[in-house]
Amino acid sequence: KQEVTQIPAALSVPEGENLVLNCSFTDSAIYNLQWFRQDPGKGLTSLLLIQSSQREQTSGRLNASLDKSSGRSTLYIAASQPGDSATYLCAVPNNAGNMLTFGGGTRLMVKP
């Protein structure tokens, strides 16, 4: 059974810092990996989706990398801003492609 773990569980940084969020998964036979953002009381918004054949994806100040063989992904946020404060979740689909397994999330607070 796929297990997804995120470290750290919570993170507080001053505005402007570059930061890295970590995601690990136990079964490396994945189709893709997604990073989501969740604001309090809101649903999930997809940030980046990395296909298994890709090593990284970039969107603005966000860069996600994927190392399938080691079962790891990182989300890099450059020049963090207070508006980046949210919970960040990574997720992978199962072999049948009909469900996502999520990590527990990293709760990020960026202080002005």
Partner 1 sequence: GAGVSQSPRYKVAKRGQDVALRCDPISGHVSLFWYQQALGQGPEFLTYFQNEAQLDKSGLPSDRFFAERPEGSVSTLKIQRTQQEDSAVYLCASSSRRTLASQETQYFGPGTRLLVL
Which residues lie near partner 1 (CB under 8 A)?
Answer: 4, 6, 31-32, 34, 36, 41-46, 49, 51, 89, 91, 93, 96-105
Which amino acid belongs to residue 7? I
Distance in Å from the first CA to the final CA of the chain: 41
Which secondary-structure segment (H or E) carries 85?
none
Minimum CB distance to partner 1, residue 16 (Å): 28
Q: CB-wise, 4 or 77, nearer to partner 1?
A: 4
CB atoms within 10 A of CB 84: 18
Q: Which is nearer to partner 1, 18 or 31 (CB)?
A: 31
Report, in Å, the least distance between residue 44 CB and partner 1.
Answer: 4
| Encoded tokens for 105 | 């999330």
